[in-house]
């Protein structure tokens, strides 16, 4: 099996490259090491990120810094009510010279896609992201056209401004591997941000430390990180437990369990391990599963949050006792 070929040298290289990526992004995004690491995990696990935060906390800068760090292309899509699906994916244009339609790629054809204020566009336009996020391709006249790899969508929405917005449907939220909040930096980090800006340092000054080929290799390593049967059972039990909670009207889907398994693989590789453990799953569960749980209205009115429910579920489900590291 291909999985057996993964060795300590591979994961050591992964950890070294992953650390270089995080440190490079942190030269601009100060005081948010954990958030940057989680975005790096999503990148290596071929997932996508939804960031819920107020304006001015560095969402755009984070996406640009990641794209610059991997020598990749970044495309920004400002979602507005009048945005059309073809403004996202691209459009067929008639070429008078060849007397044929030619496809003009939209901004979704890049390595890091910033979908800014994604909830301001209509549901029809939001749905234009569904296929490309899931399958990394756009279908035009029945013909699939692949987007560049690596491919990471970083979508943002403002949690305190709801005028003129459309709630993301559950099907779209479920396609994001993680839902994050950057938050304000602490005092020291915010002073550094101001000093950097006064010194003329901007996101354009972030130089590449990895190539897109490096990211492709990291993706390949992530896929080969060992997941024991007992760990897979643990992930499935966590997901199933959310569906049985009386406070929940919609629990974690099978796609959510798959996302947690993939994220755990990347998290393990970043720790120089060839195998994932329950600790990887526990560390990632709030970010990967929290946005996939819909609470009943009475539970929300009582002050319960989905992320708290995930924490309670993780604490209640027994950790598998079987030895996980077999390679």
Could you say which residues of the chain have pLDDT below 70? 1-4, 160-164, 198-201, 322-327
> pLDDT, tens digit, for every residue of 28-75?
898 899 999 999 999 999 999 999 988 888 888 999 999 999 999 999
So what CATH class is 2-224? Answer: alpha beta
Residue ranges, CATH 1.10.8.80, the chain = 225-321
d(CA 103, CA 94): 9
Q: Please, which residues bridge with residue 144 across strands?
A: 139
Cβ pair 115, 129 in contact under 8 A: yes
User: pTM for this structure?
Assistant: 0.91
Residue 204, pLDDT score:
80
* Number of CB atoms found within 10 A of residue 213's CB: 12
Sequence-distant (≥ 6) Cβ neighbours of residue 36 within 8 angstroms: 22, 25, 26, 29, 62
CA dihedral 215, 229, 293, 224 (to 10 degrees): 0
Residue 2, pLDDT score:
41
Q: Which pair of structure tokens corresponds to residue 212?
A: 């897109």
d(CA 264, CA 268): 6
Residue 299, pLDDT score:
92
Residue ranges, CATH 3.40.50.300, the chain = 2-224
Cβ pair 234, 319 in contact under 8 A: yes
Residue 1, pLDDT score:
36
So what CATH class is 225-321? Answer: mainly alpha
């Amino acid at each position: 099996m291909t999985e057996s070929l993964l060795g300590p040298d591979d994961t050591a290289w992964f950890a070294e490259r992953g650390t270089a990526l995080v440190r490079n992004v942190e030269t601009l995004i100060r005081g948010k090491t954990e958030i940057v690491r989680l975005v790096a995990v999503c990148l290596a696990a071929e997932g996508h990120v939804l960031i819920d935060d107020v304006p001015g906390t560095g969402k755009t800068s984070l996406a640009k810094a990641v794209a610059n760090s991997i020598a990749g292309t970044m495309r920004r899509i400002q979602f507005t009510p009048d945005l059309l699906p073809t403004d996202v994916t691209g459009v067929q244009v008639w070429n008078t010279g060849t007397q044929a339609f030619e496809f003009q790629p939209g901004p979704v054809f890049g390595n890091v896609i910033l979908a800014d204020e994604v909830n301001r566009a209509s549901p029809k336009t939001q749905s234009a992201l569904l296929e490309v996020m899931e399958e990394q391709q756009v279908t035009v006249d029945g013909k699939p056209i692949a987007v560049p790899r690596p491919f990471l969508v970083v979508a943002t929405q403002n949690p305190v401004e709801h005028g003129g917005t459309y709630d993301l449907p559950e099907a779209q939220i479920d396609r994001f591997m993680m839902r994050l909040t950057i938050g304000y930096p602490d005092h020291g980090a915010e002073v550094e941000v101001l000093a950097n800006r006064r010194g003329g340092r901007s996101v354009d000054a972030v130089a590449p430390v990895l190539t897109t080929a490096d990211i492709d290799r990291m993706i390949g390593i992530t896929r080969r990180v060992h997941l024991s049967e007992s760990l897979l059972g643990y992930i499935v039990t966590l997901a199933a437990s959310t569906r049985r909670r009386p406070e929940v009207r919609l629990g974690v889907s099978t796609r959510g369990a798959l996302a947690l398994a993939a994220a755990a693989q990347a998290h393990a590789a970043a720790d120089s391990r060839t195998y994932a453990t329950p600790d990887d799953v526990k560390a990632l569960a709030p970010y990967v599963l929290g946005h996939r749980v819909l609470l009943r209205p009475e539970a929300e009115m009582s002050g319960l949050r989905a992320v708290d429910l995930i924490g309670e579920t993780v604490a209640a489900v027994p950790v598998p006792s079987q030895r996980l590291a077999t390679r």
